[in-house]
Chain A
Amino acid sequence: MVEGRLIEGVLRGEEAAIARSITMVEERLPGARALLAGLATHTGKALRVGLTGAPGAGKSTLLAALLSALRRAGKRVAVLAVDPSSPKTGGALLGDRVRMAMHAGDSGVFVRSMAGRAALGALAPAAGEAVDVLDAAGFDVVFLESVGAGQADHDIALECDVTLVLVAPGSGDGIQALKSGILEIADLWVVTKGDRPEAAGLKAELLASLSLAADARAIEERVVTVAALGGQGVPALLAKIEQAGAVARAPGSLEPRQLLRLRRRLLAAAAELCAERLPPDAPQLAELATRIKSGDLTVIGAARALLSGGNA
């Protein structure tokens, strides 16, 4: 069986097996579910860190700097970078690797690009599962980069132990983020491009707005300025990420977030099973449709009957 060999390869950290497993999960190829089930008991060891923010906020550049710091500390690191697909053609241009090019060829770094493929504003459905594959493969830290756009931010928070929301000076990002509520999902707020003169103002603005909602001192601890191109602020940010990760992953602290993640997975799996058992040409559907048309049944009534497995 393909998935048996793949599971062994992933657990040994083999690049080819990891790469193919992510493709299987992403494409929902036969065996994908068995593969994930086989890997499930080996997940939970990696620190999962999400980065979100507007296009161009500086996510990939910051990732490159974090990778350098983690590599110096001897850690093995993976990145899953999700960019939206073009809704018109289904194609995608995935360019996050450009900023991380200096890490290409380093066997301790695994970078995978993934196209959104999903409805606008949502994280690729397979993204969390791809992170599971990387987690099982034994990377110490797995980063998930995704463009901030409504639902995607909440999805990313559910898939990760620590979520960073990035805002860039001079872009109006800060105000936008505050308006859309995306800052609420952050464990850490990162003001990027700290070398720009407007960065200090943005930080002050963020602090002022966030302090209205929570204890000012606690907030101050969670707003960090970095200048990733020059590396300033990166070690301090990394320390805060590790600290937040340790809290989130402390034994016994099954955070609501992790429970939510599992709940969402369960729902998705149930929906997938439903779709599988009821292909569009299933005879039950045709029969029920006829009965709905004749006024014998309502659509919702028929759906209930389908879900409970009984006959309408």
Chain B
Amino acid sequence: MTRRIRVLVAKAGLDGHDRGARVVAAALRDAGMEVIYTGLHQTPEMIVSAAAQEDVDVIGLSLHSGAHMELFRRVHALMSERGLAGVLLTGGGIIPDEDAAALAAEGVGKLFGPGTPTGELASYIKQEVARRRAEGERA
């Protein structure tokens, strides 16, 4: 039996609706994952603390506020601080390609634009978690 993939889906930032995050959460559940949904207005500290307690494989951040560079960098830094460097940080929002590339160079996972089919996100997560788990076993 293979271990189930656990994903924390969080809505960061100040904007007030979470329809997108809920759609993603439901899609990942339908792809067989265990999705922990945290709700609106989560600070990076709250998100990383929840991820640590939930022992997730993936943090999926949904944001639309334009502050994506700061938010992803802050979450990523807190993850290293709390020993979650092996966790995949991914997400979606309106993020220019060059910003996504800059974050990727810093170790953040792939970021998905609005309207990406959810199946694409699910298969990326499955592939990436499998790779990381295999790597962890070899280490």
Which residues does A use to contact B, with CB under 8 Å?
A: 15-16, 18-20, 22-23, 27, 29, 85-86, 89-95, 97-98, 101, 104-105, 110-113, 115
Between A and B, 27 residue pairs with Cβ closer than 8 Å are: A15-B53, A18-B53, A20-B55, A27-B3, A29-B3, A89-B30, A89-B32, A91-B30, A91-B31, A92-B29, A92-B35, A93-B25, A93-B26, A93-B37, A94-B35, A98-B38, A101-B38, A101-B42, A101-B46, A104-B38, A104-B50, A105-B43, A105-B49, A111-B50, A111-B53, A113-B36, A115-B4
B99 contacts A by Cβ under 8 Å: no
Given A104-B46, A104-B50, check contact A16 B83 (CB 8 Å): yes
Q: Which of B30, B36, B38 has the most CB of A within 10 A?
A: B36
Across the interface, which residues of B come within 8 angstroms of A98, CB to CB?
37-39
Q: From residue B56, how far is it (CB to closest CB) to chain A in Å?
A: 9
CB nearest neighbor in A for B43? A105
Measured between alpha carbons, how far is A72 from B33 in the docked complex, in Å? 36
Contact partner of B32 among A20, A29, A91, CB < 8 A? A91
A110 adjacent to B29 (CB under 8 Å)? no
Measured between alpha carbons, how far is A222 from B125 in the docked complex, in Å? 48
B37 adjacent to A95 (CB under 8 Å)? yes
B89 contacts A by Cβ under 8 Å: no
B54 contacts A by Cβ under 8 Å: yes
Across the interface, which residues of A come within 8 angstroms of B50, CB to CB?
97, 104, 111
B15 contacts A by Cβ under 8 Å: no
Measured between alpha carbons, how far is A16 from B38 in the docked complex, in Å? 19
Q: From residue B50, how far is it (CB to closest CB) to chain A in Å?
A: 5
A23 adjacent to B35 (CB under 8 Å)? no
Across the interface, which residues of A come within 8 angstroms of B82, CB to CB?
15-16
Chain B 1-44 per-residue mask, 1 if CB under 8 angstroms from chain A, else 0: 00110000000000000000000011011111111111111110
CB nearest neighbor in B for A99? B39
CB nearest neighbor in B for A89? B32
